[in-house]
Structure 1
């Protein structure tokens, strides 16, 4: 499979939306083309640029796509950061898709974006052609980042976030230092509590595994080899979910081993 660079022809635009009575300004990157579009949802502490290389890879030449900075993240603007949670992110995704006129699509989501994507796919399964879940939450054990809102509580959002960043920097997982270095530039501290508490609530009580296994589309669960200990992997495999184990990677394959990550995504989506 060729992964040589191709000409980067993308559209950078900022769209204005009102979701859950919250005013949003979201920077987007997209491309028109042929075939079903790919919709990319980034994780907590990341931005749309996690996926920007899709426009430079020959395996995706001509494929339309869209990615955006989630509310409270990247270069987005949000009139009420305390309102940012997974339900708002899901309805934001719906609004972005409507703005782009996208009906049916392939879905790729990482971590927080994987959980957002799962909730979107569960609510509108007829629209999703395939779903690549990159270590998105499907069980309580996946809250190793978000559950810190309870295990390391604090009233000051900026102090909590500073301590969270330091814990991330010291993590033994691949790319943790790289991830931690940009966190304060990519996430507004006031948005963290709503995001994390909703992620924990859904992971503990939202029946996520049943939702994931119940999707009618083709599904892939991608994980870094450092997380091969996840207890539910045999259950996913037995249910027919494609497992993609990324070598020399932990929770952030787009930083640790993007070549294998993109190879796996391209092969899974195919020419549909």
Structure 2
């Protein structure tokens, strides 16, 4: 059993809380707190939703629960939040698992598109996704099953469009700055192990710098695509906890 709990940070849409039972079944402690603007925190003013704001929120969340150190797991945009957290609070991070986490603007192509939308366009986009979760799954190459459809509907309902757009704008601002990639490189070159996890269908679209592959503690490729934890939750948690 790991000495420290896992802290899972989700991406632009959704939550990772559906994975909680799989960690419990392995007697492994894991936390999936709502980020600002998501889940039980949907009421938060969108103007306050930024990636650095999420870092401060997670630090407060851990402190309130007397959790001193964690294994950080960040998916997609959550990977960028994990790197910012490790930069701001290095002693609180035992290891990092970047699950196709954003390394640069090249990984934020969809966030950039959403960031440019008007509020009405963002609302319309999310409404269309919610009306057709099967179509949303198909965009990621995921076959429709009752379980997948239920998970997709839950993820799409976990935040308003204003949260998605505020987060997307912050992603563009943060990852587009040269200081961000330099800070990420310093983490890889430091003493905190960084594990890289990708999906077989989506790995080619992940813009990993050569130094990240060279310095990573491990590189794992799982069957599936960018939403590999939705496609096969059991496989994802098993792979994550075996590293």
Band of TM-score, shorter chain: 0.7 to 0.9
CA shift in 2, pair 1:172/1:111, >3 Å = closer
Quote how far apart the aligned CAs of 1:50 are: 3.6
Is residue 56 of structure 1 aligned with residue 24 of structure 2? Answer: yes
Cα deviations by residue, 1:204-231 (Å, 9 ceiling, x for unpaired):
2154433233223111111111122134
CA shift in 2, pair 1:54/1:161, >3 Å = same
Is residue 238 of structure 1 aligned with residue 214 of structure 2? Answer: yes
Cα deviations by residue, 1:106-137 (Å, 9 ceiling, x for unpaired):
11121222211110011111221111111111
CA shift in 2, pair 1:208/1:138, >3 Å = farther
Indicate the residue corresponding to 1:205 in structure 2: 177
CA contact (8 A) 2:196 2:216 kept: no
Q: TM-score, normalised to structure 2's length?
A: 0.82
CA contact (8 A) 1:132 1:222 kept: yes
Paired with 1:184 and 1:163, the residues of 2 have a C-alpha distance of 10
Q: TM-score, normalised to structure 1's length?
A: 0.74
CA shift in 2, pair 1:143/1:67, >3 Å = same
Indicate the residue corresponding to 1:35 in structure 2: 3
Q: How does 1:135-174 map to 2 (within 5 A)?
A: 135-150=100-115, 153-156=117-120, 157-162=122-127, 168-169=136-137, 171-174=139-142
Q: How does 1:187-198 map to 2 (within 5 A)?
A: 187-198=159-170
Q: How does 1:221-260 map to 2 (within 5 A)?
A: 221-229=196-204, 230-232=206-208, 234-247=210-223, 249-260=224-235
The alignment covers a number of residue pairs equal to 231
Paired with 2:143 and 2:64, the residues of 1 have a C-alpha distance of 34
CA contact (8 A) 2:19 2:237 kept: no
Indicate the residue corresponding to 1:76 in structure 2: 41
SS at match of 2:109: coil
CA shift in 2, pair 1:55/1:257, >3 Å = closer
The structure where helix makes up a greater share of residues is: 2
Paired with 2:126 and 2:43, the residues of 1 have a C-alpha distance of 18
The structure where strand makes up a greater share of residues is: 1
CA contact (8 A) 1:147 1:197 kept: yes
Paired with 1:125 and 1:189, the residues of 2 have a C-alpha distance of 32
Q: Which runs of 5+ in 2 are unaligned?
A: none
RMSD: 2.7
SS at match of 2:63: helix
Paired with 1:133 and 1:91, the residues of 2 have a C-alpha distance of 19
- Using CA pairs below 8 Å that are at least 6 residues apart, which structure has the higher relative contact order? 2
Is residue 118 of structure 1 aligned with residue 49 of structure 2? Answer: no
Paired with 2:19 and 2:178, the residues of 1 have a C-alpha distance of 28
CA contact (8 A) 1:132 1:219 kept: yes
Q: Which runs of 5+ in 1 are unaligned?
A: 1-32
